[in-house]
Amino acid sequence: MNVLQIAIDGMLAGLVYGLVALAFVVIFRASRIVNLAQGQLVLVGAYVMGTLMSLLPLGAALAAALAASVLVGIVVERFVFRPLIGQPVFAIVMASIGLLILLQGLVQLIWGAQTRPFAQIFPEGAWRLDTLVINRRLLIGALITFAAVEALRWFFLKTRAGLRLAAVAEDHYVALSLGVSVRGATRIAWALGAFLSTVAAMILLSGNVLGLQASEIGLRALPVALLGGLESLRGALLAGLIVGLGEAFAAQYLDRLTEGAMSQIFPFLLMILVLLIRPQGLFGWKVIERL
Amino acid sequence: MSLALPSGVHFASHAEELRLLRTRPQRAALLLLFVALAVFPVVASNYLIGLAISASITLIAVVGLQITIGMAGLLNLGQSAFVGVGAFTAASLYANHGLPMLPCIVLAGLASGLVSIFFALPALRIKGLYLALTTIAAQVMFPIVVLRLPESWFGGAAGIGIDQPRLLGTAVDTPAAFYGVAVGVAALMLLLAFNLQRSHVGLVFRALRDNDIASSVLGVELGRYKIMAFFAGALFAGVAGGLYAFYIRYVTTDQFTIWLSIWYVGMLIVGGLGSPLGAVFGTLAITALQEAVHAGGTRAMNLLPALSGGTIFAMTNVLLGAAIIFMLIKEPHGLAHRWRILKTAYRIWPYPRG
């Protein structure tokens, strides 16, 4: 297989990670919540969408599923994170762990553990460019991801509401004393995060099989978010590309030597290296701490 | 008329306050507990004894987590991977190299501790919270790496079996005999944790948990102590894993999932992060919860055959997740704090607790 083809496949796959990481970054950047339940948001979005698609025509089902994901985000904010405003970051992370198993268990209780087919949303097949083959579903996904990043950048950097969220991400108490609603910020963060997770589920699963292991994308997106910097939107995108490339090349050249292990652990080794060398990631905010 | 605790606070020296058992009735109560633990295997059914063994093994892992998370404030979401490292080490040393059982368990603890150091290295650069991410890396990498290692080491996908565990020349293959080993080791590890908490190192852990910048100004080598906290926690996990290997007698990678790691953290949160006692309360409470779900689930399965074993797992997840969130919102100090309030109220009765 030629190098360019590997690079294209890797980057397209990496951008899906990038989109999930983007959901993670949006929640962190607007509410300072490290959301370890990111994969479960994708899972809930996917199952809700799968059920709606079997009941409604495609367009209506997608709209309803995206609306439902916003609702999920708002419910999570109201009952889990609003009572914890002002608590140490530590307690909030623990709460996201509780949310992780709560959602995973709920999905399994409601829909069962069997895998099921997921309807096709995007056109399957590939575009051919000379000898190169480009997966259509992932290419459309990549375009959506780029559009999402630019739209979010505009929201966070150019609008008043978005800039308020940055204050909340800096410090809950300071934000409150400046009259910024931490509740409102957290609600927007979770609604946006759940929305993006459902979009990611759409791209990831269109025409594929849906099962409980779909939540694993959350774990794989963690190194991506960290590499890009937890506050950086474009960073998530770039890190997705880097991780995707690394995975694809490791799969091609190193997996023969390691029986397929290298491409799977590559993102996590990279994460440990990033934390050692540049803990704030490529474009994260460097926080100066004082006594 | 004090039955178990002194009325009022009247320590004459610091050493007196640090003592684990302060009064004669407390010593008597502990003795009673030991007697009860010794009588238990004689009167209980094999099922209950098995449950007690599992709970003891889990307790050791959760006590280790209390050291890392509770004392030192470093989040560890990969404890079950470290339990797994211990289990594989012990099983391999026993089955493939013929070492006796006790050295196997000790070496299992050390092996887990050493592996954890690699994942704790980023602690030199980052704050406790982000360490959670490297421990998730440990959890994800554990099965991938173990399955690729040579089969003569850890048995690959088939895992390793242990024929008959022998301790000092006698077989420990009955539940009652293994109960003695498991509860004995758990009690020893619990004592170690209590001692660690009131030692110099335990105080340093607490300092860096409360404010790491302030403690580094006071001369604490942050990186070193963070790695030590990690090492200690993983050591406990390794010992738990060693015991687990000898109890289940069969070790594969899918016994050590991220769910188990999260359950350990959940037990600690429900019990209370502040002291090893919290680990005890949490382990007991969640084990009881799991048993209730299991009993209820089995009954429901007889009525509705459509339910499966997966439903019980899912139900446990839902209840534990809800319990974690509830405790964080309503009682962040856990069940151990309720217990302390009860004790204080008793001690200063009839005055209202302050």
B 231-260 near A (Cβ less than 8 A):
258-259
Lowest mean pLDDT among B9-18, B64-73, B329-338: B9-18
pLDDT tens track for B167-186: 776 777 778 888 988 999 99
Q: What is the tens place of the pLDDT at every residue in A73-106?
A: 999 999 999 898 878 888 888 899 999 999 999 9
Q: What is the CATH number of the domain that holds B234?
A: 1.10.3470
Report which of A105, A181, A214 is spatially closest to residue B324, judged by C-alpha positions. Answer: A105
| Mean pLDDT, rounded, for B270-278 | 90
In the numeric block, the tokens 């006698």 are attached to B170
Structural domain contains residue A273: no
pTM: 0.90
**Which has the higher per-residue pLDDT, B343 or B237?**
B237
Instruction: Specify if A50 maps to a domain.
Output: yes
If you count DSSP H runs as helices and E runs as strands, how many of each does chain B have, helices first? Answer: 15, 4
The answer to whether residue B156 is domain-embedded is yes
Residue B5 belongs to some domain of the structure: no
Q: What per-residue confidence (pLDDT) applies to A30?
A: 84
Give A260's contacts in chain B (Cβ within 8 Å): 148
Please report whether residue A119 resides in a domain.
yes
Chain B residues in contact with A275 by the CB 8 A cut-off are: 122, 125-126, 130, 133-134
pLDDT of residue B354: 53
The answer to whether residue A290 sits within a structural domain is: no
User: Does B124 fall in a domain?
Assistant: yes
**Does the pLDDT at position B135 exceed 90?**
no
Mean pLDDT of chain A: 87
Q: HEC profile for B216-270?
A: HHCCCCHHHHHHHHHHHHHHHHHHHHHHHHHHHCEECHHHCCHHHHHHHHHHHHH
On the question of pLDDT at B18 being above 50, the answer is yes
Whether residue A187 lies inside any domain: the answer is yes
Residue A27 lies in a domain: yes
**Segment B290-308 mean pLDDT:** 75
Check A98 against B308: CB less than 8 A apart. Answer: no
Q: Which of chain A's residues have a Cβ under 8 Å away from the Cβ of B332?
A: 87, 91
Average pLDDT over residues A219-243: 89
What is the mean predicted confidence (pLDDT) over A110-119? 84
Per the domain annotation, does B327 fall within a domain? Answer: yes
- Whether A113 sits inside 8 A of B322 (CB atoms) is no
The ipTM, to two decimals, is 0.87
* Cβ contacts of A277 on chain B, cutoff 8 Å: 125
Chain B residues with CB-CB distance to A113 below 8 A: 308, 310, 314
Tell whether A104 is covered by a domain: yes
Tell me whether residue B30 is in a domain: no
Contact residues, chain A, for B266 at CB < 8 Å = 97-98, 101
A163 touches chain B (CB under 8 A): no
- Cβ atoms of A86 and A174 within 8 Å: the answer is no
Residue A200 located in a structural domain: yes
* Residue B341 in contact with partner chain A when CB distance is under 8 A: no
Interface of B with A in 276-315 (CB under 8 A): 308, 310-311, 313-315
Q: Cα(A28)–Cα(A17) distance, rounded to whole angstroms? A: 16
Top residue of B135, B230, B328, B331 to mutate, by most chain A CBs within 10 Å, is B328
Q: What does the alpha-carbon distance between residue B101 and residue B172 come to, in Å, rounded to a whole number? A: 10
- Structural domain containing residue A116: 19-214
Q: Span B335-351, mean pLDDT?
A: 82
pLDDT above 70 for A136: yes
pLDDT confidence tier of residue A124, bands split at 50, 70 and 90: confident
Q: What's the number of domains chain A is made of?
A: 1
Q: Own/partner pairs for B305-312, CB < 8 Å, 24+ apart?
A: B308/A112, B308/A113, B310/A108, B310/A112, B310/A113, B311/A108, B311/A109
Tell me: pLDDT of B333 over 90.
no
Question: So what's the pLDDT on residue B62?
Answer: 96
Residue B33 lies in a domain: no
Flag whether B26 is in a domain. no
The answer to whether the CB of A203 falls within 8 A of the CB of A19 is yes
- Does residue B7 carry a pLDDT above 70? no
Distance between CA B240 and CA A268 in Å, rounded? 26
A residues 82-111 lying closer than 8 A (beta carbon) to B: 83-84, 87, 89-91, 93-95, 97-106, 108-109
Query: At residue B1, does pLDDT exceed 50?
Result: no
pLDDT at position A76 is 93
Please tell me the predicted confidence (pLDDT) of residue B9: 66
Domain range for B174: 44-347
Q: Where is pLDDT greater, at B308 or A152?
A: A152
- Looking at the structure of chain B, the number of domains it has is 1
A155-203 pLDDT per residue, tens: 988 998 888 888 888 778 888 888 888 888 889 999 999 999 999 998 8
- Asked if pLDDT for residue A109 goes beyond 70, the answer is yes
Q: Are A117 and A209 a contacting pair, CB within 8 Å?
A: yes
CA distances from A282 to A224, A278, B105 (A): 11, 7, 43
B352 domain residue, yes or no: no
